[in-house]
Amino acid sequence: MTAKQKITLLATVDDFVFGHALREAAADATIDTEFATTHLATRAFPRFTEVFGGSRIDANKDRFERGLRALLEGIRT
């Protein structure tokens, strides 16, 4: 790898890790379910209602590891 490619790789991994850390830090945020339910009921955002209207979506706990693995595998090829 050239020096420019190495710096680009470092910045990409750093962005990925930093974004994950921010999401994890915010994971304990309180969700205003009454506000969300009221807005979903307006049907102003049909795709949003389609995805989130039934219940809360629980993200995969291992998404960071899977994402980082995919990122690094893509760089290898």
Q: What is the pLDDT, as a whole number, of residue 19?
A: 84
The type of residue at 61 is: K
Tens digit of pLDDT for each residue in 37-47?
Answer: 788 788 887 88
- The answer to whether residues 57 and 2 touch, using CB atoms and an 8 Å cutoff, is no
Q: What is the pLDDT, as a whole number, of residue 43?
A: 82
Q: What is the pLDDT, as a whole number, of residue 31?
A: 67
Residue spans of the domains in the chain: they are: 3-76
pTM over 0.85: no
Report the distance separating Cα 36 and Cα 49, nearest Å.
10
pLDDT tier at 59, thresholds 50, 70, 90: low
Judge whether residue 8 has pLDDT over 80. yes
